[in-house]
């Protein structure tokens, strides 16, 4: 007889169970779900939860990556390994294809993050996906704080924050009209620290660039930017070799590194616990575009 | 600025470490709710430097001499432009003991819809009053909603205590009023704390300016309040989400880490909504009523000898009973009888009206049934003009933010619990069959507020003008 019978669930147990419940609801009630998968830490945690949700059966849906063409090579390599490891089937939508045939044009500032929306919506509509899992968390940004777990999108993939369905108890309502789809956020209630705690507890692999490594960087607009083909040094800029890591691994054109010596998940947990900057504030140039940058992109159908 | 402590994860394993508490805030306009929430976030180091910079800049632009912590909870652009909060926002903060999920419910716009939504998952409601005003009508309404939704704990923050010179008499008078009201509304457990959110008194650190108060601070209360007994102590309810019967076993390298199973595996995946379960327990399958014995409780991490409310697991049974999504595995002791006629309290959340004869969908647990609204027995009058308790008035329809008593006929029998005993399986939502919109939140059976129906017969004489057939 176990003695801990009425011990409350730990935070991580409660969050894991909630996410698994959400993922199972979607698989049971939608015709054709798909999971967005970038190879970033949130998406790999989501994929890990999906594997646990359906064990001993395989994951009953595929994963989709919107490739900006400016992804970190370490992340792309990890993406393919992770998909293989968890036994998921991967579809890729390429921003580069859209630029090559003229459906999208490169932005003057070189960032490709906002360009992901069109290939994403096309892939959703081509695959006739009625539910799309995203790794978004409500702690990331203030527009996300009001996002539902099941978030309705109209035919144009748009989010209307003033017209969201109330979401009560754990009764998720995914009914929708033809042409509409539902974005589902199983990690809604997780914070950055929860994600790292879970990565450490579950020994989940993440791309190597989440851990400290040496890289040529320049200090630009208050952020450490890696010097790559996509983001060359600007005239007069001092390029230094520094020990850095990434807190988010978005498009290379708009994701900055932080100085760090954290080489394990436990080191990262200590570092995140001590950090004085938010994850996006520290590293995402795209969210600095305007006060409501994320809200605008979400309205248009972004992740 | 107060001392900011750094929050580190105490352990990094799945079952150890801190626990989780869900809370909702409620209050009326200008009672300092945003400031209180901002201070909880700030003082637990949940607000980081870049966000704080932003708040300081905006505060300076608005001519304030210090950072307005209320700005930390600024949300959507429309809200910033209009200076109001539209929708429930979720905030996260943590201490070494607990992680908190806070549903921040705006006070003035659509208060019922937002407070009902926030309260549905809350273990605790943090209710605010202004010490200069005491318990007001809005407080009574929020407390009535907390009672209706069976939130286990309500803590009253008597805010702006600095503006009444930290007066013990003022605090005691408000606390006494509140205790009386809570008792008359059937609220389960309450506590009152004197606070100044702007000055930081008794939010995270104990104030030396209220030496007459020896209870916990707001954060201290939240860290220690008991949150799990209600659900775990109840009888087992396990709505089946998904039948796991692998045609092919997961063959990925990941699956080699997980336990191995035979080819004829069949298990029922779901989340335990209340109670606990052990291998060997006899259960009843609802609505059919067949009995079976739990053979094993499986997870990808291995089998469990005990699982409790809140856990997502797979239950295997000793016999091949016919079970599918929508069924509920329940304790054999007093399981809910499947019913086709249902009386419930319904919180109406949509612009369109509810009228008798409406055809709707009813989502309960993991099942959906067609339903017809037979009649509306009354709408809750939360204006409290007549005194301490609300009463039910006759009505023809329910409109946005109304709380009504509704009779429903169901197309298929559902094993619905009384909400009083089972928050999860006594709850349902009403969905529009045509466009899928969530129209209402339902609480099955009698509620503490239903008892007021009896008062209503007596209070009829107080409302001669409102009586009679509204049609």
**pLDDT, tens digit, for every residue of B107-162?**
665 678 888 999 999 999 999 999 999 998 888 888 988 999 999 999 999 999 99
A160 found inside a domain? yes
**Domain for residue A66, yes or no?**
yes
pLDDT in tens, A240-296: 999 999 988 877 877 889 899 999 999 998 887 766 555 655 555 555 444 455 566
Mutation target among A7, A57, A153 for the B interface, most CBs of B within 10 A:
A57
Verify that B199 and B347 share a domain, yes or no. Answer: no
Is there a single domain that holds both residue B120 and residue B186?
Answer: yes
pLDDT of residue B455: 40
Res A4: pLDDT: 45
Judge if B201 and B314 occupy the same domain: no
Give the pair of three-digit tokens for residue A210: 């989440």
pLDDT in tens, B344-359: 999 999 989 999 999 9
Q: Which residue has the tokens 């909400």?
A: B419
Q: Are residues B323 and B376 in the same domain?
A: no
- A1 domain residue, yes or no: no
Of B50, B229, B435, the CB nearest to A281: B50
**Could you report the per-residue pLDDT of B262-308, keeping only the tens digit for each?**
878 999 999 999 999 999 999 999 999 999 999 999 999 999 999 99
Tokens of B189: 């457990």
pLDDT, mean of residues B93-98: 87
Instruction: Return d(Cα B22, Cα B313) in angstroms, integer.
Output: 22
Q: Does B91 touch chain A (CB under 8 A)?
A: yes
Give yes or no: residues A189 and A215 share one domain: no
- Which structural domain, as residue segments, surrounds residue B41? 19-227
Q: Is the pLDDT of residue B88 over 80?
A: yes
Distance CA B293, CA B291 (A): 7
Tokens matching residue B457: 């017969």
Instruction: Please state, in angstroms and rounded to a whole number, the distance separating the CA atoms of residues B390 and A147.
Output: 33
Tell me, yes or no, whether A163 and A88 share the same domain.
Answer: yes
Beta-carbon count within 10 A of B54 CB: 17
Higher pLDDT residue, B186 or A251? B186
How many domains are contained in chain B? 3
Average pLDDT for residues A3-27, to the nearest whole number?
Answer: 86
pLDDT at B452 over 70: no
Can you tell me which residue has the tokens 């010179």?
B165
Q: What rounded mean pLDDT belongs to chain B?
A: 84
Does residue B14 form part of some domain? no
A215 with A260, same domain? yes
Query: Residues A137, A238: one domain?
Result: no
pLDDT band for position A207 (cuts 50, 70, 90): very high
Q: Is residue B2 part of a domain?
A: no
Does residue B374 register a pLDDT over 80?
A: yes
- Both tokens of residue B170? 């003022």
Q: Tell me which residue in B12, B99, B423 faces A269 most closely, judged by beta carbons.
A: B12
Of residues A17, A146, A201, nearest to B12 (C-beta): A201
Same domain membership, residue B426 and residue B326: no
Q: Is B8 part of any domain?
A: no
> Interior CA angle at B18 toward B17 and B24, to 5°?
160
Same domain, yes or no, for A36 and A104? yes
Classify each residue of B240-250 as buried b or exposed e, where b means 16 or more C-beta atoms within 10 Å of its C-beta.
Answer: bbbbbebeebb
Both B192 and B72 in one domain: the answer is yes
Kindly give, in sequence order, each residue whose CB lies less than 8 Å from that of residue B317, ignoring residues fewer than 6 positions away.
B268, B283, B292, B293, B294, B295, B323
Is position B130 within any domain? Answer: yes
- Do B368 and B432 lie in one domain? The reply is yes
CB contact under 8 A, A55 and B428: no
Chain A contact present for B15, CB below 8 A: yes
Does A178 share its domain with A46? Answer: yes
* ipTM computed for the complex: 0.89
Q: How far is CA A184 from the centre of its chain?
A: 12
Answer yes or no: do B264 and B187 share one domain.
Answer: no
Q: Which of B210, B227, B244 is the last residue of a domain?
A: B227
- Which chain A residue has the Cα nearest residue B348? A166
Question: For B100, which residue in chain A has the nearest alpha carbon?
Answer: A11
The Cα–Cα gap between A297 and A158 comes to 9
**Are both A137 and A59 inside the same structural domain?**
yes
Greatest mean pLDDT among A140-149, B93-102, B401-410? B401-410
In terms of domains, do A94 and A233 share one?
no
CATH number of the structural domain spanning residue B261: 2.40.30.10
SS3 for B271-325 is ECCECEECCCCEEEEECCCEEEEEEEEEECCEEECCEECCCEEEEEECCCCCCCC
B119-to-B93, B116, B142 alpha-carbon distances in Å = 18, 5, 10
Q: Are residue A20 and residue A162 in the same domain, yes or no? A: yes
- Which chain B residues are within 8 Å of A55, Cβ to Cβ? 250, 255, 258, 299-300
> What CATH number did the domain enclosing A76 receive?
3.40.50.620
Domain span at A84: 11-193+292-299
Over residues B376-407, the pLDDT tens digits come to 999 988 776 655 667 888 999 999 989 999 99
Give which of A290, A257, A301, A238 is closest to A109, Cα–Cα: A290
Strand order in the sheet with B124-130: B89-94, B98-104, B19-26, B124-130, B153-159, B190-194
Q: What residues in A contact B7, CB-CB < 8 Å? A: 193, 273
Mean pLDDT over A115-119 rounds to 89
- Secondary structure element (H or E) that encloses residue A65, with its range: strand A62-67
Task: For chain A, say whether B471 makes contact (Cβ under 8 Å).
Answer: no
The last residue of one of the domains, among B207, B227, B247, is B227
User: For the segment A35-69, what is each residue's pLDDT rounded down to a tens digit?
Assistant: 999 999 999 999 999 999 999 999 999 999 999 88
Question: Does residue B467 surpass a pLDDT of 70?
Answer: no
- Asked if residue B245 has pLDDT above 50, the reply is yes
Are B244 and A54 within 8 A, CB to CB? Answer: yes
Q: Indicate if A66 and A175 belong to the same structural domain.
A: yes
pTM for the structure as a whole: 0.90
Question: By the CB < 8 Å criterion, does B81 face chain A?
Answer: no
Predicted confidence band of residue B229 (pLDDT cuts 50, 70, 90): low
Look at the block and give the residue holding tokens 């400031």.
B35
Q: Is residue A218 part of a domain?
A: yes
Does residue B219 register a pLDDT over 60? yes
Q: Do A28 and B325 touch (CB under 8 A)?
A: yes
Find, in chain B, the residue whose alpha carbon is nearest to that of A281.
B50
């Amino acid at each position: 007889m176990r003695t801990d019978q009425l011990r409350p669930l730990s935070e991580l147990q409660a969050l894991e169970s909630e996410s698994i419940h959400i993922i199972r609801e979607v698989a049971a009630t939608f015709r054709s779900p798909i999971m967005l998968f970038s190879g970033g830490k949130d998406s790999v945690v989501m994929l890990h939860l999906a594997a646990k949700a359906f064990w001993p059966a395989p994951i009953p849906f595929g994963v989709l990556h919107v490739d900006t063409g400016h992804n970190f090579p370490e992340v792309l390599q990890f993406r393919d390994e992770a998909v293989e490891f968890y036994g998921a089937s991967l579809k890729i939508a390429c921003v580069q294809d859209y630029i090559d045939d003229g459906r999208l044009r490169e932005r003057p500032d070189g960032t490709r993050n906002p360009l992901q929306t069109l290939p994403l919506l096309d892939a959703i509509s081509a695959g006739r996906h009625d539910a799309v899992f995203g790794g978004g968390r409500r702690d990331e940004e203030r527009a996300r704080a009001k996002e539902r777990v099941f978030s309705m999108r109209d035919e144009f993939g748009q989010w209307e924050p003033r017209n969201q369905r109330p979401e009560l108890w754990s009764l998720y309502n995914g009914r929708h009209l033809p042409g509409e789809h539902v974005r589902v956020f199983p990690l809604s209630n997780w914070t950055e620290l929860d994600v790292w705690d879970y990565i450490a507890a579950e020994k989940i692999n993440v791309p190597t660039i989440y851990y400290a490594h040496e890289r040529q960087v320049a200090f630009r607009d208050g952020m450490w930017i890696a010097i790559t083909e996509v983001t060359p040094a600007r005239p007069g800029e001092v390029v230094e070799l520094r020990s850095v890591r990434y807190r988010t691994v978005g498009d290379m054109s708009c994701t900055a590194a932080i100085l760090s010596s954290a080489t394990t998940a436990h080191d990262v947990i200590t570092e995140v616990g001590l950090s004085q900057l938010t994850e996006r504030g520290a590293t995402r140039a795209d969210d600095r575009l305007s006060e409501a940058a994320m809200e605008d992109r979400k309205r248009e159908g972004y992740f | 600025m107060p001392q900011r402590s750094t929050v580190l994860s105490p352990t990094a394993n799945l079952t150890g470490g801190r626990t989780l508490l869900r809370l909702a805030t409620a209050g009326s306009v200008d009672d300092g709710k945003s400031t209180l929430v901002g201070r909880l976030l700030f003082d637990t180091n949940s607000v980081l430097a870049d966000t704080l910079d932003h708040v300081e800049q905006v505060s300076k632009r608005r001519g304030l001499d210090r950072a307005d912590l209320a700005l930390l909870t600024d949300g959507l652009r429309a809200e910033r432009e209009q200076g109001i909060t539209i929708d429930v926002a979720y905030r996260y903060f943590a201490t070494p003991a607990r992680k908190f999920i806070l549903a921040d419910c705006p006070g003035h716009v659509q208060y019922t819809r937002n407070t009902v939504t926030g309260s549905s998952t809350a273990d605790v409601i943090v209710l605010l009053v202004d010490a200069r005003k005491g318990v007001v009508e809005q407080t009574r309404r929020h407390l009535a909603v907390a009672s209706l939704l069976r939130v286990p704990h309500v803590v009253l923050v008597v805010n702006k205590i600095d503006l009444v010179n930290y007066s013990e008499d003022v605090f005691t008078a408000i606390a006494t009023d509140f205790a009386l009201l809570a008792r008359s509304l059937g609220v389960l457990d309450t506590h009152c704390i004197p606070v100044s959110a702007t000055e930081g008194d008794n939010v995270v650190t104990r104030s030396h300016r209220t030496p007459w108060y020896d209870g916990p601070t707001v954060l201290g209360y939240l860290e220690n309040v008991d949150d799990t007994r209600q659900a775990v102590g109840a009888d087992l309810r396990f709505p089946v989400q998904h039948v796991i019967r692998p045609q092919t076993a997961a063959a990925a390298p990941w699956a080699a880490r997980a336990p191995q199973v035979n080819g004829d595996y069949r298990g029922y995946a779901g989340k335990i909504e209340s109670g606990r379960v052990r291998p060997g327990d006899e259960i009843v399958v609802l609505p059919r009523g067949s009995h079976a014995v739990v053979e094993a409780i499986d997870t990808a991490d291995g089998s469990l000898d005990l699982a409790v409310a809140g856990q997502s697991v797979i239950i295997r049974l000793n016999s091949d009973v016919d079970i599918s999504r929508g069924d509920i595995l329940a304790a054999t002791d007093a399981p809910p009888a499947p019913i086709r006629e249902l009386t419930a309290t319904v919180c109406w959340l949509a612009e369109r009206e509810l009228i008798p004869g409406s055809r709707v969908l009813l989502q309960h647990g993991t099942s959906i049934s067609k339903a017809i609204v037979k009649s509306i027995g009354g709408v809750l009058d939360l204006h409290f003009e007549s005194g301490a308790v609300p009463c039910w008035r006759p009505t023809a329809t329910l409109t946005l933010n109304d709380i009504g008593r509704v009779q429903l006929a169901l197309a298929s029998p559902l094993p619905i619990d009384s909400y009083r005993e089972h928050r999860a399986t006594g709850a349902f939502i009403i969905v529009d069959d045509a466009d899928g919109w969530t129209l209402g939140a339902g609480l099955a059976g009698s509620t503490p507020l239903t008892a007021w129906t009896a008062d209503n017969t007596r209070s009829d004489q107080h409302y001669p003008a409102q009586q009679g057939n509204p049609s």
